[in-house]
Structure 1
Amino acid sequence: MNLKEALKIADRIVFEKTGQHLDDLQAAVLRGTLEHETYKHIAKNFDCSESSVRKVGSELWQILSEELGEDVSKSNFRSAVERFQLSLFSKNFALQQDCVQISCCVNSYGEGRHPPDISNSHNEETSNTKPTKNSHQDLSEMPELGNFFDRTLELQTLTTWILQQNCRLITLTGISGIGKTSLAVQLVQQIKHEFEYAVWYTLDEFPTIDKFQSNLIQLFSQSEKPDSSPTNQKRLPLIKYLQKHRCLIVLDDIHNLFCSGELAGKYKPQYEEYRSLFKQIEKLSHQSCFLLIGWEPPKEVPQLTSENTPIRTLQLTGLDTAAAGEILRDKGLAEIDNCEALIHRYQGNPLWLKSVATLIQELGIGATELLIDDTILLPEDLKDVLHEQYDRTSELEKQVMSLLATENQPVNVAKLLQNGQISSSDLLNALQSLSRRCLIEKEASLYTLSPVLKQYIKTRRSHLTNIDSE
């Protein structure tokens, strides 16, 4: 379903409920939702307050929920409308087929002869037809793959964990722009046919645990008994469906469940019950897999896991030189000297490389000259991305990153404690949290920041100093 079709269906539903078509702001909210934009971004594009957008969104989800008979939210709007469209199509198709069969029977048997009872034969045929494996998918929120750069080893690892080792809970983490979602999309495309259900949810404006489980259970129950009324079906607990069916459930942007300004993985109060769900997914026996994607994992998911447990964590790092070189070739920078140095400086991060390569290309800067004096370019779009992730950290983590930004070489805990500003306990907790957020690098017992993050923190510190002096 394209954007125009979805808006047309939504307009029809709203008109039937209110007697009025979508106004400009309502259309903007739905359009932004379909394009995976945040309320803040929608408000900026429409030149209004974020609170106004949220209010309009809330009213729309209420109307759509009442009319569609299910809980509709920003996270499942597209899939809800697609289910509505599919139900209309199915009803129309069934009606057309019945008309065709009746017409054929009347023409074949002629006047005075009775055609066979096609309703019974149709039911028998239906009952003898087993659903094909993986006939149920809700991947409407899964992004398009686009250009995919080589991640053969990571794909093999995830495929082995899911299909061979039957892991129940996997987290895929990494700093912003590293390619987590692209890798997951490629993975789902390759293995989705191994599952009866494949579902993708993006946790932008995510519902409570009750709504989340209700959405999943509704998908299961409707596909199991498509001809029965949802209100008359006996719904089982979510874990029962995961035990009964082989399901792959992907949750993208899992970090939106967690608090900003706290150590990594602390749930927001309204999402605290997700902790129990993830524990249940890990501990209870079933044949399904949850794949969690985000900047940081839940606290209950360790970075280092044993092969004897059904839980795994893959922390994604940058592309290798060959794969990252494809990005530079796309930007017309493949022939520059010291191409490997540029890739290393930006750690093979696809988003970082695209950002700096675009700046170099658009301004006609000599990339080779930039590499002479270890210049770190920070285009505005890259600073925005870094700020979003940096702003989530606690004050304690910001202190530790400031200390690391002043060091030219990797340092150990003893060196970081020499400043006397942070206790050993707080320091260790901060280092663990920063490591889980993928914001620091660790080799043996030494810690450091990437050159890009060092430059960002120095630039930020200089900006704040200038503001204070004014």
Structure 2
Amino acid sequence: MTSDPGPMSRTWHLERLYGDLSWAKAQRNGRENAMLSDVEWNYVQGLLAGASPAEIARQWNVVSGTVRGVLCDVIYPCVKLLSHHHTQQEVTIRQWSDVAPALEQLGYRNYYVQGDNPFPTSTSCWEGAPEVEVLFGRGQSLADLRRQIVDEQRKVVLLTGVEGVGKTALARRFAEQLEGELGYSILWVSMAAAPLPEMVLAKIQRLLGSQSTATPRTLEEHWLQIIQIRPEAPWLVVLDEMDNVLEHQKYRPTHKGYQIFFRQACQTNHTGHVLVTSSQKVTNLCFLKNKGLPIKLFKLDGLDKQATSELLEHLNIECQNHQGCDSVQKIYNGNPQLIRFLATSIREFFNGKLSQFAELNTILIDEQMRLLLDMQWQRLSPLEQNVSRELADADRPLSISELRNRLNNPVSTGSLIDVLRCLKDCEFIEQVVGKRQGEAGYQLRPLIYKYLSDYLNYT
């Protein structure tokens, strides 16, 4: 259950409804643990809000026929099955407007709303935040973020993952949920222009309505002024694309003030939280976490097979069998942005049929994909690039000892292990079991091998 329910979470028992509709879907399909997809759940919530299929289609940027197909094939039969299960009677669903009354009769409407949003006048600043389309397969990630920030009260959460995996989209959707459901004030800060920490703190003070006329001389004084504001509503600051102030996981010399920024964010008594997105770990935050400060490191992985299939269908790609979708998920590691680029080529050159593309038995890297992979390559250190080249040249798994022998400059085992760990984190390599007595080996992922072969001429 991933979409933002907003005020409906107070007028409908959404969690119970989602679970019961998923049960009905599983019963109809004869499959245990079959859940409503994100798309199906979005359409259900649209119906509960009184939206027609045409209005739902406009909201999610799809054709109305797609919405009607999902409603007729999945939602209407599931509602009928639920009605029969609860009342032993068959409910009549002739059109979209019959769904909400039927579910109300089944007891999913909440007539005991506990008042309005306690912070109806919360102020937010979304400047620089991108618009987000429908998310697929991110329900658990949203729940995990909510648990870490709302329940566990982590002051800083670092959301990492490779370029294109959807960190920004997830952060945006999560922040929208906190604003809509819990009245959080949201400050979105794009780090594209590499703002100094003093600028971010000044924005936080303006967001919270600071009346202070004194100019802080230090970062610590900034935080003291923030503590004194004491807003009723909690607040969340999103620092999006922290990579722009980092060099190989460490702050640029001009931005070392973020060490103090994050330490104070963890140690001072305030009602806010900081969510950071970055394609690389931040050494300083890892250090503070190990010192016991309330920091959480959260790695966002690619989509699973089911979510990949749902995304391809949403992008109007005809998937006749699961094998083709599974292959796309494996080759592109469930990266939503790479899958979107692939879908564009399939629509343009293969009439939207995944089976025709799959017949070529090739890995496609178009110009847009290459630019995304270029970004990942350029973030690697010289040693990480050298190790990648050696793996490409070998064209087979190499053990740690073999890698050490192939490198021109001597490298300690500890340093090489650190490099391999970073390459695994950025999804360049994978670990395999070698043929010699089960020895661990490392090789490039097929997509990366193709990238290096075609564009960098290292093999």
| Alignment TM-score, normalising by the size of structure 2 | 0.63
Question: Hey, what does 1:431 align to over in structure 2?
Answer: 420
- How far, CA to CA, are the matches of 2:363 and 2:288 in structure 1? 32
Are 1:441 and 1:450, in contact at CA under 8 Å, matched by a contact in 2? yes
- How far, CA to CA, are the matches of 2:396 and 2:224 in structure 1? 49
- How far, CA to CA, are the matches of 2:199 and 2:277 in structure 1? 20
- How far, CA to CA, are the matches of 2:342 and 2:287 in structure 1? 31
Are residue 241 (structure 1) and residue 226 (structure 2) matched?
Answer: yes
Q: 2:281 corresponds to which letter in structure 1?
A: P
- How far, CA to CA, are the matches of 1:370 and 1:416 in structure 2? 36
Residues 456 and 160 of structure 1: is their aligned pair in 2 closer, same or farther, counting only changes over 3 Å? same
- How far, CA to CA, are the matches of 2:380 and 2:272 in structure 1? 33
Instruction: Give unmatched runs, 5+ long, in structure 2.
Output: 1-117, 434-439
Question: Hey, what does 1:162 align to over in structure 2?
Answer: 149
Are residue 275 (structure 1) and residue 275 (structure 2) matched?
Answer: no
Question: Hey, what does 2:318 align to over in structure 1?
Answer: 334
- How far, CA to CA, are the matches of 1:460 and 1:153 in structure 2? 36
- How far, CA to CA, are the matches of 1:443 and 1:291 in structure 2? 34
Are residue 363 (structure 1) and residue 356 (structure 2) matched?
Answer: no
Are residue 292 (structure 1) and residue 276 (structure 2) matched?
Answer: yes
Q: CA RMSD in A?
A: 3.3
Deviation at 1:239? 4.9
Deviation at 1:394? 1.8
Question: Hey, what does 1:346 align to over in structure 2?
Answer: 332
Deviation at 1:380? 0.6
Q: 1:188 corresponds to which letter in structure 2?
A: A
Residues 367 and 219 of structure 1: is their aligned pair in 2 closer, same or farther, counting only changes over 3 Å? closer
Residues 426 and 147 of structure 1: is their aligned pair in 2 closer, same or farther, counting only changes over 3 Å? same
Deviation at 1:374? 4.4
Deviation at 1:460? 2.3
Question: Hey, what does 1:187 align to over in structure 2?
Answer: 174
- How far, CA to CA, are the matches of 1:309 and 1:272 in structure 2? 19
Deviation at 1:363? 1.3
Q: 1:173 corresponds to which letter in structure 2?
A: T
* Residues 147-168 of structure 1: per-residue CA shift (max 9 Å, x gap): 2212111111111000110001
Deviation at 1:145? 1.6
Question: Hey, what does 1:212 align to over in structure 2?
Answer: 200
Query: Matched residues, percent identical?
Result: 25
Are 2:363 and 2:450, in contact at CA under 8 Å, matched by a contact in 1? yes
Are 2:210 and 2:226, in contact at CA under 8 Å, matched by a contact in 1? no
Are residue 455 (structure 1) and residue 439 (structure 2) matched?
Answer: no
Instruction: Give unmatched runs, 5+ long, in structure 1.
Output: 1-130, 466-470
Deviation at 1:373? 6.6
- How far, CA to CA, are the matches of 1:302 and 1:232 in structure 2? 34
- How far, CA to CA, are the matches of 1:232 and 1:363 in structure 2? 62
- How far, CA to CA, are the matches of 1:349 and 1:307 in structure 2? 33
Structure 2 residue matching 1:416: 3-state secondary structure: helix
Residues 440 and 304 of structure 1: is their aligned pair in 2 closer, same or farther, counting only changes over 3 Å? farther
Which structure would you say has the larger Rg?
Answer: 1
Q: 1:139 corresponds to which letter in structure 2?
A: W
- How far, CA to CA, are the matches of 2:162 and 2:330 in structure 1? 16
Q: 1:376 aligns with which of 335, 348, 363?
A: 363
Deviation at 1:195? 5.2
Are 2:227 and 2:268, in contact at CA under 8 Å, matched by a contact in 1? no
Q: 1:311 aligns with which of 292, 295, 302?
A: 295
- How far, CA to CA, are the matches of 1:278 and 1:443 in structure 2? 38
